[in-house]
Amino acid sequence: MSLSELIAGVAASEKTLTVFNPDDDTVEQLAAHFADRNLSVVPAYADEGPSNFAVLGSGDTFHTAVSVDDILKQPEDVHPGFERDSYAPILDHLDETLFTSYGREKMLSATREIEDRAWRVGAGELHAGFQLGDNLEPQLETYRRLGGRDQLSVHAYIYPEGDIPAADQFQLHLSRSDEIRNSWFVVYDGSGVADYKCALVAEEPEPGAGFSGFWTYDPSTVDYIRNYLASTYSVIESDGSGCVRRGD
């Protein structure tokens, strides 16, 4: 399954938050609160039962239930962070979070969260796709520092167009695939610790059109993305400078 197919799969797996007997503006508040989530918020009314009580489900599957007050009392300014403690309990069931039309500033902010986690743990594997060398160039110092962590294996992927940045202290994978040309991804395997695993995967169909994709904490999804990248863009030939070339 390609990165684009993964994104499409997440987009198709929308969950529903049903709010029972909501106050006048509760549904609107929750819709705004979860605006960057792959989630629809709908009201439901019953003669009996609690008010402002929310149930999360997908199809006929029940996931969790929580009071609206418990959701909205959590800090709202958590986007686009990757720390579970920042989120309301219901988000434990929204491991894969869809977003659309992100600009480069938001993408960089989300990317920094994953890079920071990899730096703090200091071990495992970090895989990052930059599309072109021009996007990697301003991040070279960051990736050299990350690659300098003795137990952290760092891999960067670009489409070889124009100047190729000199790679040292990390592996630079070159591929002329459309997937590498159009995708921005950052994947950290958590050094095998499930709670540390996280990933961001997005695609830009046309230059400047904005990025659409998802971020995830789900260990199985992170493992799949890591394994997909490692097998699809595996080390074929090294030119001796840290660059890894794969057939076109």
At 50-101, the pLDDT tens digits run 888 999 888 788 888 888 888 877 544 444 444 444 344 555 555 567 777 7
The CA-based dihedral angle spanning residues 205, 209, 212, 215, taken in that order and rounded to the nearest 10 degrees: 110
- Tokens representing residue 12 in the block: 């198709």
pLDDT of 225 reads 97
The mean pLDDT of the chain is 84
User: Which strand ranges, in their side-by-side order, compose the sheet holding 171-174?
Assistant: 96-102, 211-216, 198-203, 183-188, 123-132, 151-159, 171-174, 243-245, 237-238
**Range 99-245 has CATH code 3.30.870.10:** yes
Question: What is the per-residue pLDDT across 96-140, written as a single tens digit (0 to 9) for each?
Answer: 677 777 888 888 888 999 999 999 999 999 999 999 999 999 999
Where in the chain are the domains?
3-94, 99-245
What does CATH list as the number for 3-94?
3.40.30
**Alpha helices of 98-177 — where are they, by DSSP H?**
104-121, 133-136, 140-147
Long-range CB contacts (< 8 A, 24+ apart) of 142-146?
A: 142/115, 143/169, 143/170, 144/168, 144/169, 144/170, 145/119, 146/115, 146/118, 146/119, 146/170
State the pTM of this model. 0.74
Output the CA angle 19-24-25, nearest 5 degrees.
Answer: 80
Q: Is the pLDDT of residue 39 over 50?
A: yes
Question: Among 243, 239, 233, 170, which Cα is nearest to 3's?
Answer: 233
